[in-house]
Every structure is written in C-alpha cells, then in structure tokens.
Structure 1
Amino acid sequence: MPQKFRSKGLKKQKKSYSGKKKVHTFKVQAIIHYKTQQILSLRGCHGAIHDFKLFKRHLNQIPMGAFILVDKGYQGIDTVYSNSLLPLKAKKRGNLHSELKKYNREINKRRIGIEHVFGRLKTFKILAGRYRNRGKRLGLRFNLIAGIYNRELSKK
C-alpha cells in the first residue's frame, strides 16, 4: 500500500485554493429579503471555507428574529440559529419517505426566488465566468453589482 507524505519543497497554496474543486475559488454568501428580493448583505471569503463556517462568523449581522431559508449545505444550523428551515437529506444508501420529499419540495418552492436572484446577478458576466481580476477586489465588485441590481429592482 503506498504511503502518503509531504515533501518539504512544495510551495504553500494560497488561502483561496479549494482542494475539493482543485482550483482557486472565492465564495460569496448573500442575505436576501424574501418578499422584496433585495440583497441586504454580502459576505465574501476564500473558497476553502465551508458555507456553515462562514455563516457562523457573520451570525451577528442577521437581524433579530429573522427567518432563514438555507440549502442542504447548512446541516446543523438549528443548533446555532433556531429560527431557520432547511431541507432534509437522505441517508447515504437510503431514500427519503414520500412525506419528507413533499416537505423538501415545499421548502424549495420558497427558496426558488432566492435562486432566481443569483441567476439575475449572473447576467453580469464577471460573476458567471472565471474571475480574472484581483481577488481582493471581488467583494467590492460584488457589492457594486448588488447595488446596481437593487437600484434596478427599486425602479420597477
């Protein structure tokens, strides 16, 4: 059986390197108002940080009593923030019961509006494709695009 080891001569990877995707990535987490579809807050970080860890870091920025809809990447959110709702995951080699599938479908019907916001933001090609500019400026550019999106939304 081959042994795994590290060579001392390897260069250190940057913080933005995602071992899962084998590329340098960035992650942006958005807080979106459910009814108005406005972007309230954006938080960006390097791609190697898990979604739930990023959520816990910026937990103080969520308005008190706000109800949160999240995806399956936030398993365990109910221990940190009780006023939240997330879809249920099936066990590794099992299937969900039909009632639980209906439950997930109802949650996803409410989350689809939020996913549409991300789709509208990707009309700005700088967010849809490979980001070729400075990594430090991604947060600034994402905030500018979110501001343009909110402005266009308020005109309607």
Structure 2
Amino acid sequence: MMNSTIAQTLTDEQFKRRFGVQRETFKQMVKALQPEWRTTPKPGAKPKLALDERILVALEYWREYRPYFHIGTSWGISESTVCRIVQWVEDTLMRTRRFRLPGKRQLVRGFATPSVVIVDVTETRIERPKRRQRAFYSGKQKCHTLKSQLVIDAQTQQVICTFFGKGRQHDFKLFKASGIHFHPLTESLQDKGYQGLQKLHIHSRLPKKKPRGGYLTVEDKAYNRQLARERVGIEHVNRRLKVFRILSGRYRNRRKRFGLRCNLIATLYNFEQAQAVTVS
C-alpha cells in the first residue's frame, strides 16, 4: 500500500517518474496548501491521509489517470474519498494563487513582453457526448475531442496562457475567440491552421501554402523547414504536459474541469522550467 513514507524512499528520478513532478515541486505544493489544511476539520472525523499524502493522490491521478477505485485500493481509501481529495487539491491550489500562468496580459505589456511566441493547438480525446456530438467531433482526429490552445515564450519555453474549445472549432476561430492580442513588436510563429492571422498581427510567420495546381519553390520549402525548426519547441512542451495521462488519454471526467486541470499542470511545468534555468 502506497503512503508518504514509501514515496520518500524513491530516488529523485523515480519520484519524477512515479508522480510526474520533481520532489522540489511537490514540496512547494505542500507549502502552498499548508495554510488551508486543518488536521481536524470542524465538524468531522480526522482525515485518514495527511496533507502530503493527499497531494500525492492527486498527482498520481493526473499522472496515471487510473479510475478512482484503483487509486483508492492503492492508498486504502474509498473511491469517493479519492474524488473529494483530487478536487480539493485542485480547487485549493487555484485559490492560493501560488501556481498561476502569466496570462494573456503578459503578451501586451511593455515590460517583460516576450520577443517571440509560438501558438499551437493540441487535442484530447473525450467520451462521446450525449448531446451536441457534432460540435465536439474533430475531422482531423476522427473522434470527439477538446482543443487546448497554448501560447509559449520561444526563449524560456514556458506557457504564457491557454484557451479551450470544442473539437470541431477551427484553430484560427479558436484563437479569435480567446481574445489574445500580441504586442506590436512581438513575433508570433504558428502553423497553417492560423491562415489569416497575418491580417491581425503583422509580425506573424506562417508556412507557405502550395498554390492550387502549382508547386512550392525551393526557397519556400527551405522557409517552411526553418519555421518548423523554430516552432518545434511547442511540440516539446505538449509532450511534457502529456506525460500526465489525464491530458493524453481519453478524458472521462466532466468537461468543465478540463481547463482547470490543464492550467494546473502547465503551471507545474512552468515552475520546473524556472527552477532548471535558476540551477543552470
């Protein structure tokens, strides 16, 4: 049976593989939630799991995305208790404001505005909805999905802001719905799904499209390859976020909490990116 004592015996590398975050990140999560934690709630019985164990349960759920019942048997608690623990950790972390994304205002501020940003959309499969199925059906993925738009700083590889939509929504329409604006001096990189963005932001770089019935020139192909090399950073970010299977597998929960969970995981990723820069 898993508990905090067993987790402490893991090496730093094993802890990262088991729970998806560095041990230092876990300690900061405990520190952030400590003021909100009461060992003996009033009224109510004493919780079976300590604060650090509750955070480990939430991390394990995000990392492995096993059913509540399976995780509950690993920790000796019921599946309903696992559900309450996960939601309490998520909601409380958001209330502490210790783990937050910079937000889209960071894109237009004169101070600390990123010089180059990368925009991309990734999709997560969901269970087939009972209603309005067509709105969630992605023609690209051939299944029902939720779309997550990420904007990252090309230099630091940190997530600046996110936005979410339904699988049928076009990438450019999702961008316009997000209300994001770039600083006039900021250069933005994106794929072909954002055709038309250059009309809204002059410093946008998109791949060259092959003319109908024609061919791309050698220069156009070289330009597209160079742009792909510069944009590959956001693919690495997507891969690091999807280490948590709650984002990479078929999402089974209520869709209204998907954005909250994606934002929390992105903030944990940002924290570890900042720590890596500090150490180096």
TM-score (normalised: structure 2): 0.48
Question: Is 2:193 the counterpart of 1:64?
Answer: no
Matches of 1:132 and 1:34, distance apart in 2: 32
Paired residues of 2:138 and 2:167 also in contact (CA < 8 A)? no
Matches of 2:232 and 2:138, distance apart in 1: 29
Aligned to 1:43, the other structure's residue is in SS state strand
Paired residues of 2:207 and 2:224 also in contact (CA < 8 A)? yes
Question: Is 2:148 the counterpart of 1:28?
Answer: yes
Paired residues of 2:152 and 2:158 also in contact (CA < 8 A)? yes
**Counterpart AA for 2:202:** S
Question: Is 2:132 the counterpart of 1:13?
Answer: yes
Question: Structure 1: which 4+ aligned runs deviate by more than 4 Å?
Answer: none
Taking a change above 3 Å as real, the CA distance of residues 15 and 40 of structure 1, as seen in their structure-2 partners, is farther
Aligned to 1:25, the other structure's residue is in SS state strand
Deviation of residue 121 (structure 1)? Answer: 1.0
Return the match for 1:90 from 196, 199, 210. Answer: 210
Return the match for 1:138 from 238, 255, 258. Answer: 258
User: Which residue is equivalent to 2:46?
Assistant: none
User: Which residue is equivalent to 2:169?
Assistant: 49
**What are the ranges of 5 or more consecutive residues in structure 2 without an aligned counterpart?**
1-129
Deviation of residue 89 (structure 1)? Answer: 1.6
Matches of 1:15 and 1:147, distance apart in 2: 32
Question: Is 2:252 the counterpart of 1:123?
Answer: no
Bigger mean CA offset, 64-73 vs 134-143: 64-73
Percent identical among aligned pairs is: 46
Bigger mean CA offset, 128-137 vs 34-43: 128-137
Return the match for 1:114 from 211, 231, 234. Answer: 234
Paired residues of 1:24 and 1:47 also in contact (CA < 8 A)? yes
Aligned to 1:36, the other structure's residue is in SS state coil
The count of aligned residue pairs is 145
Deviation of residue 128 (structure 1)? Answer: 1.2
* Largest Rg, 1 or 2: 2
More helix by share: 2
Deviation of residue 93 (structure 1)? Answer: 4.5
Deviation of residue 147 (structure 1)? Answer: 0.8
Paired residues of 1:16 and 1:25 also in contact (CA < 8 A)? no
**Counterpart AA for 1:112:** V
Question: Is 2:99 the counterpart of 1:99?
Answer: no
**Counterpart AA for 1:122:** K
Paired residues of 2:138 and 2:145 also in contact (CA < 8 A)? no
User: Which residue is equivalent to 1:7?
Assistant: none
Paired residues of 1:15 and 1:46 also in contact (CA < 8 A)? no
Deviation of residue 95 (structure 1)? Answer: 2.8
Aligned to 1:154, the other structure's residue is in SS state helix
Relative contact order, higher structure (CA 8 A, sep 6+): 2
Matches of 1:100 and 1:142, distance apart in 2: 36
For the aligned residue pairs, the C-alpha RMSD in angstroms reads: 1.9
Return the match for 2:196 from 64, 71, 76. Answer: 76
Deviations 1:65-101 (A, max 9, x none): 2211000111111112212101112134443111110
**Counterpart AA for 1:27:** K
